[in-house]
Amino acid sequence: MKKIQMVDLKSQYDKIKDVVNTSIQNVLDTNTYINGPEVHTFQKELETYLGVKHVIPCANGTDALQIAMMGLGLKPGDEVITADFTFAATVEVIALLQLTPVLVDVEMHNMNISLEAIKKAITPKTKAIVPVHLFGRAANMEAIMALAKEHNLYVIEDNAQAIGANCKFSDGTKKKAGTIGHVGATSFFPSKNLGCYGDGGAIFTNDDALAHTLRGIVNHGMYERYHHDVVGVNSRLDSIQAAVLNAKLPLLDQYNKARQDAARKYTLAFHGHDNIIAPSICDSCDCHVFHQYTLRIINADRNGLMQHLLDKGIPCAIYYPIPLHAQKAYLDPRYKEEDFPVTNQLVQEVLSLPMHTELDDEQIKFITDSVLEFLG
């Protein structure tokens, strides 16, 4: 059996290395390291894939979120609602811009932001909602957009974990996660479903005026060389990373299907176990692309199971061990523990198993057998 890894980038690379190596060599040969043709090609191809008018590449996913908020003209003191149960980058950029983060609870069944919690958190100072498509599962964007429209709020989608996932609407139509709000942001960190070999990110929008603003912000606020019209940053996707992404983008649906197939095998193996709540996945799933495969371990020793798996050479992780409202950087007397019952429960129960495009049946069986061996 191959060594089990949380994410197996080497085996994935081996299948595309001729294309990747040739593309990177071309960048080296032409010396087009910044804003070269590979970047422009990727921008256009991703716009086509997502069905969105504008993709603005940038340096990483955290920058993408920050620049999106800058582009919307949010001001210090404006309140921005986001999920308590997610990675810190989402709340980090809100705080960096001196906006006021308003953390709210998530829903137990999908771990995404709670619509009812958003409703309760809206005040006259609220200016935006940042739903996170957590672990690869699309949030309820139709309901979130309706709520935002009712209260005249911006919606900034954090799509760092769910590129390629579809959001289904009540009229039967589907749109890609990240393209529904006023603006979306994603990360191309190497372990993502669409990952480069360094840092990278992008911003999406269908708003022409906003896209123009964002293109200036990512490049020092310049629309014409040495004319700085707005306060900007230095955040670019370099040509070598774009070359890698150009090799991977045509395979993204295939990569996501491989993750979904692995998830089905995991969930089937755990079906009916009293101590395991596994992610649901249907036969034709397209709303969850399984950036992570995350179990809930109930009425059992989650930490003991984690150590058991690690002892057997099976990597696993707790995403996330501490709620954002309890993190030292984001402590605030506004937050009451009774407002976060789901997040406070999830941090005690969640355990993420290896999930990537290269998992084989032998590895999945060893992992699931090891989980069941411990839980009995």
Residues 6+ apart with CB under 8 A from 108: 342, 345, 346
Residues 6+ apart with CB under 8 A from 156: 65, 68, 69, 72, 80, 128, 129, 130, 181, 182, 183, 184, 185
Residues 212 and 291 in one domain: no
Say what the pLDDT of residue 284 is.
Answer: 81
pTM greater than 0.95: yes
Say what the pLDDT of residue 285 is.
Answer: 86
Band (pLDDT 50/70/90 cuts) for residue 245 is: very high
Nearest CA to 179 among 134, 250, 131? 131
Residues 224 and 303 in one domain: no
Distances (CA, A) of 33 to 37, 160, 369: 9, 24, 47
Say what the pLDDT of residue 283 is.
Answer: 80
Residue 353 phi, psi (nearest 5): -95, 165
Query: Rounded mean pLDDT of the chain?
Result: 97
Residues 271 and 359 in one domain: yes
Residue 328: inside a domain? yes
Which structural domain range is residue 220 located in?
Answer: 9-104+112-250
CA 107 to chain centre: 17
Q: Hunting for tokens 């309820």 — which residue is that?
A: 140
Band (pLDDT 50/70/90 cuts) for residue 282 is: confident
Residues 178 and 327 in one domain: no
CA 179 to chain centre: 13
Number of H helices, E strands in the chain: 12, 14
| Residue ending a domain, choose from 201, 234, 250 | 250
Q: What is the rounded distance in angstroms from the CA atom of residue 171 to the CA atom of residue 155?
A: 21
**pLDDT tens sequence across 193-233:** 999 999 999 999 999 999 999 999 999 999 999 999 999 99
**pLDDT tens sequence across 289-299:** 999 999 999 99
| Residue ending a domain, choose from 250, 285, 300 | 250
Say what the pLDDT of residue 145 is.
Answer: 98
How many structural domains are present in the chain?
Answer: 2
CA 298 to chain centre: 26
Residue 44: inside a domain? yes
Residues 24 and 173 in one domain: yes
| Residue ending a domain, choose from 191, 223, 250 | 250
Per-residue pLDDT averaged across 14-40, rounded? 97
Residues 242 and 278 in one domain: no
SS3 of residue 203 by DSSP = strand
Per-residue pLDDT averaged across 63-80, rounded? 97
Per-residue pLDDT averaged across 83-98, rounded? 97
Residue 40: inside a domain? yes
Residues 93 and 235 in one domain: yes
Q: Hunting for tokens 């009995």 — which residue is that?
A: 376
* CATH for 45: 3.40.640.10
Residue 82: inside a domain? yes
Residue 86: inside a domain? yes
* CATH for 264: 3.90.1150.10
Residue 2: inside a domain? no
Residues 161 and 26 in one domain: yes
Tell me which H or E stretch contains 205: strand 201-205
Residues 257 and 240 in one domain: no
Per-residue pLDDT averaged across 244-255, rounded? 98
